[in-house]
């Protein structure tokens, strides 16, 4: 089954935290892959301080349910204003 929605998160690490951020994102990806509707996910280093996490979802509704859940909000909060990352960019799109 091909995905109906793709979510992409790009994160910039604090200086000296790129490895720790990559480790955190790897653990996060393992948990996201277990969420209902998540079909796949990939973590890619973009350069020495930037990472990209991309996930594919069976439906837009399942992606939105994931994003509105407490776990996702906790993860995004840590990335957005935590001690590992300077910030993040998020985008999602439908595949139709």
Q: Are 88 and 11 in contact (CB under 8 A)?
A: yes
Q: Which of 6-20, 52-66, 74-88 has the lowest mean pLDDT?
A: 74-88
- As a whole number of Å, the end-to-end CA separation of the chain is 13
Quote the CA–CA distance of 95 and 74 in Å, as a whole number.
Answer: 27
Using the predicted structure, report yes or no on whether residue 80 has a pLDDT greater than 90.
no
Average pLDDT of the residues in 29-46:
95
pLDDT score at 60? 93
CA distance 83 to 66: 24
Amino acid 87: pLDDT:
82
87 Rama class: left (phi>0) / alpha (psi -120 to 50) / beta? left
| 83, pLDDT greater than 70 | yes
- Residue 65 pLDDT greater than 90, yes or no: yes
Positive/negative CA dihedral, 33, 78, 94, 50:
negative
User: What is the CATH T-level fold of the domain 5-94, as seen in this structure?
Assistant: Alpha-Beta Plaits (3.30.70)
Rounded distance between C-alpha atoms, residue 83 and residue 65, angstroms: 27
Give the C-alpha separation, 5 to 25, whole Å: 20
């Amino acid at each position: 089954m091909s995905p109906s929605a793709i979510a992409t998160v790009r994160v910039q690490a604090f200086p000296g935290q790129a490895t720790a951020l990559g480790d955190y994102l790897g653990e996060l990806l393992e948990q996201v892959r277990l969420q209902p509707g998540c079909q796949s996910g990939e973590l890619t280093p973009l350069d020495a301080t930037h990472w990209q996490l991309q996930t594919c979802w069976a439906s837009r509704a399942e992606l939105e349910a994931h994003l509105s859940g407490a776990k996702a909000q906790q993860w995004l909060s840590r990335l957005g204003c935590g001690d590992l990352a300077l910030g993040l960019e998020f985008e999602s799109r439908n595949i139709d």
